[in-house]
Chain A
Amino acid sequence: MNTQTTAPRARGSFRINGLAYAALILTLFFGTIQVAQYAGLWSVSGKLTPDGAAVQLSGADPAEIKGWMTIESVVDAYHVDKAALYARFSIPAETPSSAALKDLEVVAPDFSITALRDWLIEQAAP
């Protein structure tokens, strides 16, 4: 009778050492992140481009508007009337134009970034 202490294992697969597996996981995960960073696919803030430059509103595409941007920056970039914007979204007159868009929903229930984008598209239409 065979009294082998190692079970038969040739089953179309190969054993992976646990430590090698751990090294593989860490290499794949953090290596991919490194490659992405080198390739420019890395930015941890909507305020900076992958090159580190400050994001500026071009005024060409309302989709680029983000919540951290201010009323003033939108008015300047899209050349819209500030009073009309305040009236359209029922923004209280005492709200400073330096307020961030993401904070407006609290003081103006009619306001949302999506609604603002739609309104800007309407304003730009001939």
Chain B
Amino acid sequence: MSSTVSPRTPPARARWRRPSLQTLRQFVQFGVVGFVVFIVGNQLVFGEAAASAEAFCPFGGLETLYSYLTGGRTIAHTHLSNLALFLAVAVTTIVARSAFCGWICPLGTIQEWTYAFSRWLQRRIPPLGRAMNALRKSLNPRAARGTAAGPTLGQRIDHGLSYGRYLVLAWIIGGTITYGSMVFRDYDPWSALLSLAELQLSVGTAVLAVSLITSLFVERAWCRYACPLGATISLMGRLSPVRIERVESACTSCGLCTQRCPMGIDVARADAITDLSCITCLRCVNECPRPEAIDLRLAIPGIHPAAAPAPTSGD
């Protein structure tokens, strides 16, 4: 089928339009981080008279949900705003999949910036660039494509660690229900980041440091391996009718989509990106040199593109 689609360069309008979507995404991310900086600065200046930045954490809403539903009260360090934010994340996720992770989450944004800094360093320090290239090849799902050797050690480790965030989520939910307190707070890198402004160090500070250092080598390491909110969103996102779909007949198998995916998903080998790790950042869509090969689609959840009725005419 691919021979029936003649290669062509993307139209000028598409080339202009597509990068602008990533610019818009980065603008939104920057705005959210700016808002958090404002809140933290406000608290530093006005002390306890100002709202705590923790009051704007949606995961706090999930942690206090059980207490609120069963006793009408929020647990320590959480407020109604946490519940409202979690509700907003849930609504956004059920309709628009994991867009919160890819477009709004400030911790994800900071990891993206960390990785971008790493890429900048790699371009200026050639030996580092070569070492990182080897690591990327090891982790890249396309590296073992077409070989009988199976996944590389890096891919196996990456796959195994990707279940970590579900374990973290299970521990937090179980612990919060059992003890009625935020068992994760002392280990939470986001809480630690907010506390850094007050020069407070905790176990969470170490978790934050490890996450950011790892993000120099693996993009969005915390999101991939440990984020409990990401795990919650990915599970809720299964209900969403929105997903990225790839058209095999239009694809040139260049692999750019897979290379650009910040979550390490093998986009180039999927028909529909239903991988729970997808954060709907749309980088794969934007990077594709064939605009018709990959798109964001509205579809019935659970229906695989191959199972959908065949077209009677091209649209």
Residues in chain A within 8 A of chain B (CB atoms): 1-16, 18-19, 21-22, 24-26, 28-30, 32-33, 36-37, 41-46, 50, 63-64, 66-68, 113-114
In the A-B complex, the 10 residue pairs with the smallest Cβ-Cβ separation, listed nearest first, are A12-B308, A10-B311, A7-B250, A36-B84, A13-B299, A44-B51, A32-B88, A13-B297, A44-B55, A43-B80
B311: nearest residue on chain A (CB-CB)?
A10
User: Which of B83, B100, B247, B300 is within 8 Å of A9, CB to CB?
Assistant: B247
- Chain A residues near B6 (CB-CB < 8 A): 3, 5
- Chain B residues near A29 (CB-CB < 8 A): 88-89, 91-92, 100, 104
- Chain B residues near A113 (CB-CB < 8 A): 76
- Chain A residues near B249 (CB-CB < 8 A): 7-8
- Cα of A4 to Cα of B290 in the assembled complex, Å: 13
* Total count of chain B residues near the partner, CB < 8 A: 64
Q: CB distance A21 to B296 under 8 Å?
A: yes
Q: CB distance B305 to A13 under 8 Å?
A: yes
Q: Does B222 contact A (CB under 8 A)?
A: no
Q: CB distance B18 to A18 under 8 Å?
A: yes
The number of A-B residue pairs with CB atoms under 8 Å apart is: 153
Give 4 new A-B contacts, CB below 8 A, not counting A4-B5, A25-B100, A114-B181. Answer: A19-B24, A33-B85, A36-B87, A68-B48
- Cα of A36 to Cα of B71 in the assembled complex, Å: 20
B84: nearest residue on chain A (CB-CB)?
A36
Q: Does B309 contact A (CB under 8 A)?
A: yes
Residues in chain B within 8 A of chain A (CB atoms): 4-6, 8, 17-18, 21, 24-25, 28, 48, 51-52, 55-56, 71, 73-74, 76, 79-81, 83-85, 87-89, 91-92, 95-96, 99-100, 103-104, 180-181, 242-243, 245, 247, 249-250, 282, 285-286, 292-293, 295-300, 303, 305, 308-309, 311-315
